[in-house]
Amino acid sequence: MTEQPQRQFPDMWVDPEDDPRDTGTTPSGEKAVLADYLDHFRMTFEMKCEGLDAGQMAQRSVPPSSMSLLGLARHLASVEFHWFRRFIEGRMDLERPFKSPEDRDLDFNGAVADDAVVAEAWAAWREEVAHAREVYDRYDDLGVLVGPEGNESELREIVVHMIEEYARHCGHADLLRERIDGRTGQ
């Protein structure tokens, strides 16, 4: 077994000076600032799930809630898919991953303690995050209207919504992770 390095803050994921989210650079301009905030929260969510096995990832919060870290990973993959592929790119014909007409909460209800389910969730989430970054990079003007005709929104509104979505779910992830092993967030 590899010995873990001594850390100043053992209850956190990394010591503050080793935090990968702190790049030492300050983004300039609205587009870069929003992208930086969104990526910060994406990385925060991923950090909160590091080192857990399938059982821990699928562990539910408190009854009757079906919320788990695995469910959140599946949910966030579905949200990325919806806003960037379906809404912005206009592919409303595509079925959202981890959603079903029979079970609108399949993202959480299908989050079971199985290594294959965990691997599928992370693969989908990473694919959708990469795709979302590509879509975002195509635009220079955050005021551009995107979305289905009659239901358009400014791109900036979608990105701010995504930041809000991740920030809220990172709070949920804090509580779920603390319940699993006592680690608290950064």
The answer to whether residue 8 sits within a structural domain is no
Tally the domains of the chain: 1
CA distance 101 to 95: 10
Q: Residue 170's domain spans which residues? A: 55-181
Q: Does residue 29 fall inside a structural domain?
A: no
Kindly report the CATH number assigned to the domain that includes residue 158: 1.20.120.450
Question: What's this model's pTM, rounded to 2 decimal places?
Answer: 0.89
Question: Can you give the pLDDT of all 186 residues of the chain as single tens digits?
Answer: 445 456 666 666 666 676 666 777 787 799 999 999 999 999 999 989 989 999 999 999 888 899 999 999 999 999 999 999 999 999 999 999 999 999 989 999 999 999 999 999 999 999 999 999 999 999 999 999 999 999 999 999 999 999 999 999 999 999 999 999 887 766
pLDDT at 15: 62
CB atoms within 10 A of CB 102: 6
Q: Residue 39: inside a domain, yes or no?
A: no
Is residue 19 domain-resident?
Answer: no
Indicate whether 121 belongs to any domain: yes
State the residue for tokens 């809404």. 87
The predicted structure's pLDDT at residue 11: 64
Q: Distance (Å, rounded) from C-alpha 182 to C-alpha 122?
A: 23
Counting every residue written for the chain, the total comes to 186
77 within some domain: yes
Q: Which of 14, 46, 5 is nearest to 186 (CA)?
A: 14
Does residue 79 contact residue 165 with C-beta atoms inside 8 Å? yes
Q: Half-sphere exposure of 95 toward its Cβ, with a 13 Å CA cutoff?
A: 7
> Identity (one letter) of the amino acid at 166?
Y
